[in-house]
Amino acid sequence: MSASEVDQASSREPLPGSLAEIHKVLVSIQQDYRQLAGTMEALQGKVNIIGGIKQSEAEEHQDHQTSTVGLDSTDLNAVRTKPSTQSRSSSASSRIILTTYPGQAGIDPIAMNWGHSDLTLRGPVVVSRSQSTIRRRNAIGAHGGSYSIYHALAVASKNIDIDHKPDFTNTEPAVNIGPFPQWSDANKIVSMDPLGHLAPWLFSNIIRDQNVQIRPTIAITKAHMKLPELEQSVRTGRLVPDGKICLNSTGELAVTKFAVEPVWWLPGVAERFGIDEGTLRKALFENTGGSFPELITRGDIKLFLPPIGGLTVYCFGDPVKMSSSDARLALRVHDECNGSDVFGSDICTCRPYLIFGVEEAVKEAQRGGSGVVIYFRKEGRALGEVTKYLVYNARE
């Protein structure tokens, strides 16, 4: 049909009941498309499997030839009769899935109701790309933040199976936290999962019954902290040992630690920056080298686990008091500074500020309030050390 014929057709009066008929046709086309996509996907999978088998056979034949060169008949018989060992697989299939689409055949994401008041109905964060879970994902990205790259190296080098399932026995949070009212407000918490420390246990039925991998994005433990400056703090009287928080004359502290991986609720993050979600998705996709195409193709998925550092919360005193309106809170929010915090570089004053924050947090906790230090893993206000050192040079 020519362009003029299309224009003439579009200008004609619609057929009786056309809206209902058009809707019916569109639904039928959509169903046909899904069936066709599923068929093509299945055919492609078979092609990849056949290709993978042939490649494996070729590699096995090559390995066999290489391993038998220079052997006499006795050695050769020993090689043939030696039982084979099962090596770790770098992937369950040779097939690569670049992206997925809403409504695609087999795609069935676990429901996510961010901010739902019923924790079990809110749903877990599911991002694993294991064979049993990849079609059930409701999040883009990967667990571990920036450490996900090292996990990829372990898989590629066959030091870990891609379908490895972690054992969470005896790894429960060291203290009970929440629930709090903020957990039921989708706009209050947008850069971490408030249920991250409970996920494997809260949604154990989904793990068990649906064979879906669900991992925590928050871990909570208890520890002791020793910083050289704190012994001086005790000697000068800035800190007073009480045997509970400041344990002794060396300034050793009792602390509850929370390790937090980033989980972004994209609509909420976009709102915080005063932009629309589409603009945020486009910027994230383009400025990560196109690493996450589902930011563009999966508008139905609203969660993103970005490849960035997380944060650690150091809580002194009773953790329950952190959110109590009846308790005072001393809070230090500190961006990572490896040069000063760890190695004592004098080019900046980050470590003295950190020590001061710890002291004030401990004193507030000893007075019956809560003391918290939040340590963000984003060197130089997220500029990174290379840019940070260039600024140092330019400032000299």
In the chain, CATH 3.40.50 sits at 218-260+310-396
Question: How far is the C-alpha of 302 from the C-alpha of 186, rounded, in Å?
Answer: 12
Measured between alpha carbons, how far is 275 from 270 in angstroms, rounded to an integer?
5
* Cis bond upstream, residue 179 (ω within 30): yes
Count of alpha carbons within 13 angstroms of residue 24, beta-carbon side? 5
CA 201 → CA 38, 72, 101, 210, distances in Å? 34, 58, 30, 15
Q: How far apart are CA 247 and CA 240, in angstroms?
A: 9
Three-class SS state of 182: helix
- The helix (run of H) or strand (run of E) holding residue 376 is strand 370-376
The CA distances from residue 277 to 138, 274, 288, in Å, are 17, 10, 17
What's the CATH fold of domain 218-260+310-396? Rossmann fold (3.40.50)
Which tokens belong to 175? Answer: 């203290």
Answering whether pTM is above 0.85, one says no
Q: What does each C-alpha distance from 18 to 8, 9, 10, 15 come to in angstroms? A: 17, 14, 13, 5
Residue pLDDT tens, the chain, 396 long: 444 444 444 444 454 567 777 777 777 776 776 666 666 655 655 555 455 445 444 544 544 443 333 434 434 343 333 444 444 544 445 678 889 999 898 899 999 999 999 988 999 999 998 888 999 999 999 999 989 999 999 999 999 988 888 899 999 999 999 999 999 999 999 999 999 999 999 999 999 999 999 999 999 999 999 999 999 999 999 999 999 999 999 999 999 999 999 999 999 999 999 999 999 999 999 999 999 999 999 999 999 999 999 999 999 999 999 988 899 999 999 999 999 999 999 888 899 999 999 999 999 999 999 999 999 999 988 989 999 999 999 987
On whether the CB atoms of residues 91 and 162 are closer than 8 A, the answer is yes
CA-angle at 220, arms to 216 and 223, nearest 5°: 150
3-class DSSP assignment, residue 256? strand
Q: How far is Cα 356 from Cα 238, in angstroms, rounded to an integer?
A: 10
pLDDT at site 40: 62
State the maximum Cα–Cα separation within the chain, in Å, rounded to a whole number.
Answer: 92
Give the H or E element holding residue 303.
strand 303-305
Quote the pLDDT of residue 59.
Answer: 46
